[in-house]
C-alpha cells in the first residue's frame, strides 16, 4: 500500500500498458527467450508458430522493442501493411514480421521469397510468426524457404505457469488476485492468453467502478453483468 492509498481504496485503472518483456510471461518458454537473444547476433531466421492467443505477438514485440536497440516490427495482418513497406526493411539489421500466414497469396509470398533471399545473402537475422497449422502456401519456392527456418512451437502453459501468468496479468491492471481467484480462473476460463488478458483487464476496470476488491464472488458477478450486456 502506498502512503496516499487508503485501505480498501481502488486504484484508477489508468496505468500505462507494460512494455513486452519476459517477466510478463513468467516461466513460459525460457529457452525461447534465450534463442531470441542469440538470434540477433546470428544469421539464421527463426519462426515462432502456434495456435492463436499463445503469445506470438508478445514475443515478437519483445524482440523488436524489449531489449537492446529498436528493430522494425511489421504485422502482416494489418491493412496498411504493403509489400513495399516490408521490402523497405530488407536491409534492417534485425526484422520482426508478425502473422505472415495472412500473406498466403502468390503475390505477397513472392515478396517474402525475395526478402528471404536478400537477407540470407546479407547474413541478416529475422524473426517471423505463423499460426499452426500453417496455411496452404501458393508459392513452392517460399514454402521451401520457410521450411528451412529454425522453428519453435509455442505450447499451452502448464498449471503452474498459468497460475503465474494470471497473477502477473492481474497486477498489470489493478489489485493482485488471491490464490482462490487465480485457481478459479485457471480451472474455468480460457487459456487463450489474449482473451484471458482482455477478460482480466475488463474485470479490474469493473472492480474499480464498483469500488470492490477482487474475489471469486466478484468475478461471478462480473461475468453475470458481462453476459447481460452481451445479450442486450
Question: What does the pLDDT read at residue 25?
Answer: 53
pLDDT tens column, 180-213 = 999 999 999 988 877 888 999 999 999 999 999 9
Question: Residue-wise over 41-64: b if at least 16 C-beta within 10 A, else e?
Answer: eeeebbbbbbeebbbbbbbbbbbb
Which residues of the chain have a pLDDT value below 70? 1-30, 67-69
pLDDT tens column, 101-117 = 999 999 999 999 999 99
CA angle in degrees (0–180, nearest 5) for 128-132-137: 75
The domain 26-153: what is its CATH number? 3.40.50.300
C-alpha cell at 3: 502512503
pTM of the model: 0.70
Q: Map grid coordinates 505463423 to a residue.
A: 130
Q: Is the dihedral of CA 20, 204, 177, 190 positive or negative?
A: negative
C-alpha cell at 135: 496455411
Amino acid at each position: 500500500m502506498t502512503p496516499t492509498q487508503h485501505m480498501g481504496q481502488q486504484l484508477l485503472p489508468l496505468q500505462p500498458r507494460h512494455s513486452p518483456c519476459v517477466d510478463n510471461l513468467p516461466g513460459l518458454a525460457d529457452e525461447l527467450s534465450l534463442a531470441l537473444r542469440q538470434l540477433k547476433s546470428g544469421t539464421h531466421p527463426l519462426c515462432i508458430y502456434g495456435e492463436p492467443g499463445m503469445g506470438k505477438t508478445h514475443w515478437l514485440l519483445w524482440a523488436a522493442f524489449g531489449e537492446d536497440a529498436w528493430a522494425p516490427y511489421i504485422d502482416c495482418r494489418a491493412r496498411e501493411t504493403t509489400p513495399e513497406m516490408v521490402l523497405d526493411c530488407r536491409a534492417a539489421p534485425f526484422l520482426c514480421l508478425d502473422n505472415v500466414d495472412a500473406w498466403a497469396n502468390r503475390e505477397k509470398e513472392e515478396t517474402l521469397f525475395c526478402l528471404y533471399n536478400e537477407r540470407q545473402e546479407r547474413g541478416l537475422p529475422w524473426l517471423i510468426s505463423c499460426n499452426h497449422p500453417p496455411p496452404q502456401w501458393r508459392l513452392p519456392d517460399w514454402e521451401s524457404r520457410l521450411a528451412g527456418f529454425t522453428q519453435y512451437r509455442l505450447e499451452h502453459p502448464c498449471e503452474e505457469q498459468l497460475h503465474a501468468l494470471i497473477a502477473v496479468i492481474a497486477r498489470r491492471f489493478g489489485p493482485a488476485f488471491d490464490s482462490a481467484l487465480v485457481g478459479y480462473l485457471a480451472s474455468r476460463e480460457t487459456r487463450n492468453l489474449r482473451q484471458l488478458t482482455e477478460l482480466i483487464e475488463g474485470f479490474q476496470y469493473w472492480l474499480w467502478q464498483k469500488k470492490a476488491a477482487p474475489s471469486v464472488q466478484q468475478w461471478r458477478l462480473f461475468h453475470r453483468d458481462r453476459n447481460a450486456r452481451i445479450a442486450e
